[in-house]
Structure 1
Amino acid sequence: MLRVLIYLVPLALTIFALIDCLNTPEDEARHLPKIAWVFIILLFWIVGPIVWLATGKVRVPPTGGRTPSEWHRDHRFEQQTAPDDDPEFLQSLAKENKRDEQLLKNWEADLRRREEELRRKEKGEEPQDG
């Protein structure tokens, strides 16, 4: 059992370090290009992964409550606000409401005009242009 662990622990460490290296953006790999780190991890079976984990990557915790995947995706983060706190969004809603209210008034006026025309036709009157 101990013999198996002697091989499995370094293998797991190597796999973990390799995946971590491959998922790291190029600009966050320290001291060497990322491809060089991949070769070091694969060629130097025990030492390579340990060196990568110790010095090969800029390790700064994410700020602002972001998860690591969001942190790495794009380095140009803007502070996001909730829609109900965003004044531009609230102004756009007010504009949309005014536009929708005007559209509804126009539809209601058109409906009243058409209903009036139908009543006149039922009574036998000629429709008035207006």
Structure 2
Amino acid sequence: MPFVLSLLVLAFSVVTLIDIITRQDWQVKHLPKFGWIILAIVIPIVGGIAWWAAGREYPERPARAPRSEPLRAPSIRIVDDRRMEGRSTEQQLADLEREIEADRLRAEIARRKAERGEA
């Protein structure tokens, strides 16, 4: 039993040290990276727990939509090929790029309105 406990502590320490070392400097909080390494080596269990609880920067979770809002199907656009007659490929691509940019801007406006709580 003590052998298994020792292996678990060793594995926890190694995983903690690898995580500290592979983090970018901006992903480390409260102490410099070298300070966390020293803490994890000198006091393995306490240092590891402190690192996982307070030392590392976790990625932000995407905001979830409230349950009261129903899921919406993506809008479907029907393209009328007749309007493309007589236009060069370059002109058609330029039109398509303008439409994509307009859709991106509309989505950005809707996202910002949703963040502010506007309807």
Q: TM-score, normalised by structure 1?
A: 0.46
Question: TM-score normalised to the size of structure 2?
Answer: 0.50
